[in-house]
Amino acid sequence: LYLYRYEIRDLVERYRDGSDFFFRNRGKALLRGIELEAQADIGSQLSLELGLQAAEGRALDDDAPLSDVPAEGLTVTLRRRFGGSGSVWARALLRGRHDEPGPVEREVPGYGVLDLGGVWRVTRNLEARLVVGNLLDEGYLGSPDELAVPAPGRHAILTLSAVF
């Protein structure tokens, strides 16, 4: 469990004027939040991981929301190990609605993403990793920034790692 509270002095903030971005001294701000992480072995080489987070950031002079403060989130991962040779996992990420945008952000609806992956130790010196991201091909923005582009749709990444 993590609880945090940061009082920021002399915050420098990015803002937009027309199509141009500038920086300004914002003054004092407060960033606070909570994060919870838990892991449990549930038998038969299975483990469950849970992560929750919530944060709030405000300028202290006018109570305006700060940029880059993420919406509430929940991550649940189920992992199955196969001895020392590898594992497979499924991860669900749920992100709440970002409804208090900062000065260069916009409101973003909540979304959910499902990822699958695995690791296999081929030899003592070679490991293969496969991740299939956004399995359900959910459409969502990569961030609440005004100029953000959509996050990747369904995609796969294969990585081979060698030690020599």
Task: Note the pLDDT tens digit of each residue in 137-155.
Answer: 999 998 899 889 999 999 9
pLDDT in tens, 7-25: 999 999 888 888 888 898 8
Residue 117 · residue 129 · CB < 8 Å: yes
- What pTM did the predictor assign? 0.83
pLDDT value of position 84:
82
Task: Look over the chain and give the mean of its residue pLDDT values, rounded to a whole number.
Answer: 94
Positive or negative: CA dihedral 139, 140, 142, 147: positive
pLDDT at 1 over 90: yes
